[in-house]
Amino acid sequence: MQSSKEVIQAAIGFTRPDRLPVIFDCYGVSDIRYISWNQIGTGDHSKKITYDEWHCGWQRTDQKNMGQITIHPIKEWNDLDSYRWPDPDAPELYAGMEKQFLHTEGYYLRTGIFMLLFERLHGLRGFENTLTDLYLERENIEALADRIMEFDLRVIENISSRFPGRIDGFSFTDDWGTEQALFINPILWREFFKPRYKRIFDAIHKAGWHVWMHSCGKVNDILGDLCEIGCNVADLQQPRALGIEEVGKRFAG
């Protein structure tokens, strides 16, 4: 009988696991355990406004929810003059990680980054600004994307150097689609984002981890590109939008 780790690895490797992997954290059943660093993420959901390590402000309504970013710290490019960049080498970001490995024997272990690249871009700049920047402020938006990418690469390097051979996968979020299509032209995505994702994916694989990407919306136009640059698991939670038969025909096996 395969362990949880072996089931996940067999599924990712298309080598016929003994059973389907299960990841139902809401029911307390999962083949995966998550090893987290001290990323703030969306913050304390009991508060109306919280700030993450990038100084993005998350606002919530009276209805219980994770909130959304309404305060963008680099809304204008001259905001960079006073912006305080987060330090990926700060020791406190990784404090307490070791104890999370307790009682994880036999499980597939993942770490990751919430809001990896595109989501962090529009968290800092605002969504509309980010989309127009790709056309009107190319030099500035490239510099900002590269600064985010370098942060991600350092986090990956820091975690992998602290826990070599002990983690199996790296997951991240970057929602890329509406219900109908990609947010931007696929040609622009391939020109701007694909090479940056490849650098990040290469670093993840160098650490010995699988790449797990979560992306909502109809992202069919870039699934082939993601496979090409090394995405091992595409976490796609809208089968009706994607067209599960289409995805199956294009990517099975």
Rounded to whole angstroms, the maximal C-alpha distance in the chain is 59
- Give pLDDT tens digits for 140-171: 999 999 999 999 999 999 999 999 999 999 99
Q: Is 19 helix (H, G, I), strand (E, B) or coil?
A: coil
Whether 192 is in a domain gets the answer yes
CA distances from 182 to 57, 123, 188, 249 (A): 26, 18, 11, 20
pLDDT at 79 over 80: yes
Range of the domain at 173: 4-41+74-251
Which pLDDT score is estimated for 113? 98
Whether 66 is in a domain gets the answer no
pLDDT at 21 over 80: yes
Whether 101 is in a domain gets the answer yes
Whether 52 is in a domain gets the answer no
**Confidence grade of residue 238 (pLDDT, cut at 50, 70, 90):** confident
- Give pLDDT tens digits for 195-214: 999 999 999 999 999 999 99
On average, the pLDDT of the chain sits at 96
Q: Label residue 118 exposed, middle or buried (CB < 10 Å: 0-12, 13-18, 19+).
A: buried
What DSSP state is assigned to residue 230?
T
Whether 137 is in a domain gets the answer yes
pLDDT at 253 over 90: no
Whether 56 is in a domain gets the answer no
Whether 31 is in a domain gets the answer yes
For the chain, give the percent of residues with pLDDT over 70. 100
Domains held by the chain: number: 1
- Give pLDDT tens digits for 46-73: 999 999 999 999 999 988 889 999 999 9
The conformational region for residue 105 under phi > 0 = left, psi -120 to 50 = alpha, else beta, is beta
CB atoms within 10 A of CB 247: 16
Q: What would the DSSP string read from start to end of 106-172?
A: TSEEEEEESS-SHHHHHHHH-HHHHHHHHHH-HHHHHHHHHHHHHHHHHHHHHHHHHSTT---EEEE
Whether 116 is in a domain gets the answer yes
Q: Report how far Cα 134 is from the mean position of its chain's Cα atoms.
A: 21
Which pLDDT score is estimated for 8? 98
Q: What is the mean pLDDT of residues 21-34?
A: 95
